Amino acid sequence: MHFLSFVWDPSEGIDLGFFMIRYYSLMFVIAFTLGWFIMKRIFKYEGIPLEKLDSLFIYTVIATLVGARLGHVIFYEPEIFNEDPLSVFLPFKTVPEFEFTGFRGLASHGAAIAIIIAMFIYSKKVIKKPALWILDRVVIAVASGAIFVRIGNFINSEIIGKATQSDFGVVFKQLGEDFPRHPAQLYESAGYVLVFLVLWLAYWKTEKRNWLGYLFGLFLVLLWSVRFLVEFVKESQGGFESALGQSLSTGQWLSIPFILIGVYMMFRASKKKVYEA
């Protein structure tokens, strides 16, 4: 008997009879809604017309979903492009037989790249400010959203941690297991709470919001450092780690460039210490 563990066996969602609200989808809705309210407050403070917020929301949602899905396929399952290309963006697979799968397989690294690209486009077409200006602000909303995405992963019993080899941990009953694992999803979610708080305080309580690129760099360093550390207690998700050696996971290898870019952005912004219009 595991006295320091608990069994995790949630339902799929909230059954309304005619429709099932899945908890994972609900976490995404919460993430995007909270992000919208955060950016609304920032836009009001900065004197940005709120009609530009609707465009930002659309850019961010599309970039997150498309980038996350493409990132998963490219980094973890590139064979899908050849074996079953329809399943890349559709909620079903056709190989070896037709099966409704829902939208699954999302990679945060892909989402991050897509959001950065989307913000460059948004900055030129909509807000008419430097791309780093909007990136410095939108990362606060992104960090808050990441908290709920990982909670959604926990509810779905996915992206699981390694076995603890002790009484401590979570028994994921939906996986048909009877031993405890690290709740890696919750570790990561808790880390993102800290990332969000640091960014929030840096924006509202310091002048670093005027250091073009600083908050964006701080986000990259903090968020991907959390991801890098938590990967040590996660089960392997595959990818190209075997080609680079088993010492680090694919998620860790992908996090390193983001961290280095973040360090550079913070150093660059600290040298200038000014917002460039």
Is pLDDT above 80 for 88?
no
- pLDDT of 137-155, one tens digit each? 999 999 999 999 999 999 9
Sorted by where each begins, the domain ranges of the chain are 5-272
- pLDDT of 21-79, one tens digit each? 788 888 989 999 999 999 999 999 999 999 999 999 999 999 998 888 888 788 787 77
Rounded CA gap, 104 and 106, in Å? 6
Helix (H, G, I), strand (E, B) or coil at 161: strand
Beta bridge partners of residue 92, listed in sequence order: 100
Nearest to 256 by CA among 230, 224, 226: 224
Mean pLDDT on 83-101: 70
Rounded CA gap, 274 and 105, in Å? 40
Q: What is the pTM of this model?
A: 0.88
**pLDDT at residue 79, as a whole number:** 79
| φ, ψ at 8 (rounded to 5°) | -110, 115
- DSSP secondary structure letter of residue 212: T
Torsion angle (degrees, nearest 10) of CA 172, 174, 177, 178: 60
**pLDDT at residue 181, as a whole number:** 94
Copy the structure tokens of residue 100.
């409704």
